[in-house]
Structure formats: C-alpha cells, structure tokens
Structure 1
Amino acid sequence: MLIAADWTDIALRLGCTFVAGALVGLDRESRERAAGLRTNILVALAACIAMLSAALLVPTAGKAPTSYIQLDVMRLPLGILTGMGFIGAGAIIRRSDGLVLGVTTAATLWYVTVMGLCFGAGQFLLGGAALALALATLWGMKLFEGRMRHQKEGRLLLRLSPQAPGEAWLRGALEEAGVQLRRISASIEPNTGMREYRLELWCPRQTPLIAPDFIHLFAETVGVERIEWEIGHH
C-alpha cells in the first residue's frame, strides 16, 4: 500500500491501469460491444483511483483516544466493487426469445475493476498476472472456440392439414438432415384436423440461416400449410 504521496509511484500505477484497461477493452471494442475501449479504461482507472485514495488515507485511519469514530479506508474499494455490480447488471440483456446477451461484457467490467484495485494498491505482479489471464481468456480462447463443434439453435413451426404425413415422417426428415430434436409441442384442431408442431432443434454449424434443405422438403410436401423458421447461435 502507498503511504507517502509519491507522485512517481502514483503515475506508474495509473499508467499500468490505463494500459491494462485498454488491452482488455480492445476485445470488447472489436466486437462492437456497448462497454468498449473507453468504458473499460474508465472503469479500471476509477477502481485504481479509489484504491489510491484509500492508501493515502491510511495514515489517518484508526481511532483517536478522544474520539469514538474509527475510519475504515477499505470500505472505499469495496464500495467500488459493489457499485460495479449495478453497472454490470445493466450490460446484461435478456431478449424476448430467451437469449441472454452481455454476460461477458459485464464480467469484463467487473474484472477490470479488480485489476484497477490491484494496480492502485501497488500490487504490480498480481495486476500483471490478472492482465495476462484476461488476455489469454478473451483472445486466446477465441482460437479454441473456433475449433469446437458448434451447433445452432433453431425453432420451427409447422402447420399441417389432414392430408400431410404423420409425425414419424417429420422425425425421419429431421434425422436425415442431421438435426437433433430438443423439444416438441403439438396442437390439433378437432373440427378441421389441422395440426401445428412447434419444434426446438440443434442444427449443424453449417446449416444455412435461411431455408435449409429440410425446410425446402417441408415446403414441397403436400398438406404443409405454413412454415416458420428461426435460427441462432449457441
């Protein structure tokens, strides 16, 4: 911890924090996230300055013999971490279709806060190790993820007339296309015999976003009245 007001040391800590926040923020900026380069730098610097302020207050901490007040300087950086929880929560978005976005951005903001506290406390080795791990996770893991077997999550709605084939035909067509059925729900109209299937699927990574082969098959099948198709990444 910094006890004396050594401005050379203060500048070094702020500089290390700036560089660390910028390097982590580059990943978010390249992906066009809301919390990009400037946001990560400001968050890291805010944490560093809070820790520096706490360190400079250390000589005034304690309890005077004539006072019942005791100063706890560690509450300042702890308050920074608590506040970051609210900012991180604001970066997370849950769409109407159930997809959650912004979790990595929120975690990155919290992480650069901790890095800023490390550099602000003069723990350069720990802060440098944290930076190296962050870069290895955000950049190095991209290469690993690229080699993983990814699947796309798809949703399919089929409305079938009584003349359309049965459920066995539907399952067989999906299996032949290499699509894994996750969940299925069905409804039937007793008066007309119309059937409606709602399916959640795991599709191969190379599945086209619009009209894959099995969609063309369904469209050409007699009795298929309506098709709705949606696909995303998992």
Structure 2
Amino acid sequence: MPFNPDWTDLGLRLVCAFLACLTIGLDREWQERAAGMRTTILVGLAACLAAMSANLMLATQGWQSQDFARMDVLRLPLGILTGMGFIGAGAIMRRADGLVQGVTTAATLWFVTVMCLCFGSGQLILGGLAWALALATLWGLKRVETWLHRWREATLTLTLGREGPSEEEIRQIIGQSRARIRRMFVRHEPASGRRDYRFTLWCAARPGEAPALVGALCTKPGVEQLDWDM
C-alpha cells in the first residue's frame, strides 16, 4: 500500500474496481438474481473507497518510530467486510419447498468486497487476478454445473397386475433410458399376482419433464399404476 498516493493512482483504483464490478454484476443481472449490476458496483466501490480512505490516513510524519506500528486505521476496511455479512444474508432466501437460493449471489458480493479492497489499497495485480478468477468461476464453471445438474435422483413407483412386465423387462427399459438403479423395493401378493415396485433412480432428466422410460412403461400391458417423482 503506497503511503503517498496521488490522484492519478486513486482514480486508477476506482476505475479498475468499477470495471471489475461491472463485468461481475452482468452475470448476476443476466441470471436475474437479487443483487444485480448496480448492487455489485455500489458494494465494490464502497469497499474500494474504504481502502483508499485508510490508505490516505496512513500518516508517516509526526509520529515516533515505535508509535507508527500502533496506528489502526485499517479497521475501516475490516468494518466493510463485517457489514457485507448483513447484505449477503439478505440475498439468501429459503423457498417453500426447502430449496435455498441466493448463496452464490451472497458469495459473489463478499468476493467483490475483498477484490475491491485489493484495488483500493493499490494492489492492482492482485485485484486483477481475483477478477479473472471470479469470471472463470461464474461463467466458465457454469456449463460444468449445468451438466452436473442434469443428473438427478428420481423415484419410480409401479403397480403391476399378473400379466404385467417382468422385473427383467423393467430393468431393461430403465437401462435403455441411461438411468441407474440406486435402490429398489419390491412387494408381491402371490394370491392376486399383484406386484409393487419402487425404484430410486439416478437419471438425466429435467424437473417437470417425464423421461422416455415413463412412456415406455405406460404402454406395457398389466401396468395398473405408475408414479414418477423427481
């Protein structure tokens, strides 16, 4: 941290913080998250200004050598980090179905704060590296996360009559749909020939859409009831 920054240096820090927050905020804006571009920019600029203010208050004259180490103006940017906890908590929401949303947005605001503290303290290279890593995480890893989320756990429940498909046929249909059986429950009624199956599957399917195996099983004779839960 330079002890005597000039206005050109301070302006460069603000511009770097603004542009970095702008690009990161665009990702949140495109995803229609609670904290968008303007929120990200304001949070980042506040952190940058706090670090710059602490830098300007680092007086180097009028103090003895042993007193200089006791100066604690850097508590100001530390207070910014503490306050970010409240803003980040406000971005996290718990839906009625139990799913928690906004964790990535809260983590992004926290990361932007630390990144802009680097810019505000004059560590432009460190702040630039943090900005590049943030873009790689938010944009580059998004495709990997989308691919991983294609695979979900689902429950298939079947009620079959006496003439219904055999267990081997059911397994073949499940295997042809690229689903994997994780757990299975079976109940037989020898007197009536009725069978109940409950499969816990790991399959590639979108929420709200029934995969091809549901249609294939529905066309089989003897299938009295089929339930699909994802």
Scaled by the length of structure 1, what TM-score is found? 0.73
> What CA distance in whole angstroms lies between the structure 2 residues aligned with 1:58 and 1:208?
56
1:14-43 CA distance string (max 9 Å, x none): 222111100111122122222221121111
Q: Which shifted more, 162-171 or 23-32?
A: 162-171
Shift of 1:152: 2.7
What residue number does 1:174 align with?
174
What residue number does 2:67 align with?
none
What residue number does 2:56 align with?
56
SS at match of 1:58: coil
Shift of 1:147: 10
Say if 2:216 is the partner of 1:217: yes
What residue number does 1:76 align with?
76
> What CA distance in whole angstroms lies between the structure 2 residues aligned with 1:25 and 1:186?
51
What residue number does 2:109 align with?
109
> 1:127/1:59 Cα in 2 relative to 1: closer, same or farther (>3 Å)?
same
SS at match of 2:59: helix
Number of residue-to-residue matches in the alignment: 220
Shift of 1:74: 2.2
Shift of 1:174: 1.1
Does the 8 A contact of 2:156 with 2:201 survive in 1? no
Q: Name stretches of at least 5 consecutive residues in structure 2 with no aligned partner.
A: 65-69
> 1:73/1:156 Cα in 2 relative to 1: closer, same or farther (>3 Å)?
same
Does the 8 A contact of 1:2 with 1:52 survive in 2? no
* Structure 1 residues 1-234: aligned runs within 5 Å: 1=1, 3-4=3-4, 6-59=6-59, 72-95=72-95, 99-142=99-142, 145=144, 151-160=150-159, 163=162, 164-165=164-165, 167-184=167-184, 195=196, 197=198, 199-204=199-204, 210-221=209-220, 222-230=222-230
The one-letter code matched in structure 1 to 2:41 is I
| % same residue | 50
The one-letter code matched in structure 1 to 2:15 is G
Does the 8 A contact of 2:154 with 2:203 survive in 1? no
> What CA distance in whole angstroms lies between the structure 2 residues aligned with 1:83 and 1:185?
51
Shift of 1:186: 6.6
> 1:229/1:42 Cα in 2 relative to 1: closer, same or farther (>3 Å)?
same
> What CA distance in whole angstroms lies between the structure 1 residues aligned with 2:55 and 2:49?
10
> What CA distance in whole angstroms lies between the structure 2 residues aligned with 1:229 and 1:160?
15
> 1:54/1:185 Cα in 2 relative to 1: closer, same or farther (>3 Å)?
farther
Shift of 1:90: 3.8
Q: Which shifted more, 168-177 or 27-36?
A: 168-177
Does the 8 A contact of 1:158 with 1:224 survive in 2? no
> 1:147/1:165 Cα in 2 relative to 1: closer, same or farther (>3 Å)?
closer
> What CA distance in whole angstroms lies between the structure 2 residues aligned with 1:109 and 1:98?
23
Shift of 1:185: 5.5
Shift of 1:117: 0.1
SS at match of 1:178: coil
Shift of 1:129: 1.9
Q: Which shifted more, 169-178 or 122-131?
A: 169-178
Does the 8 A contact of 1:24 with 1:135 survive in 2? yes
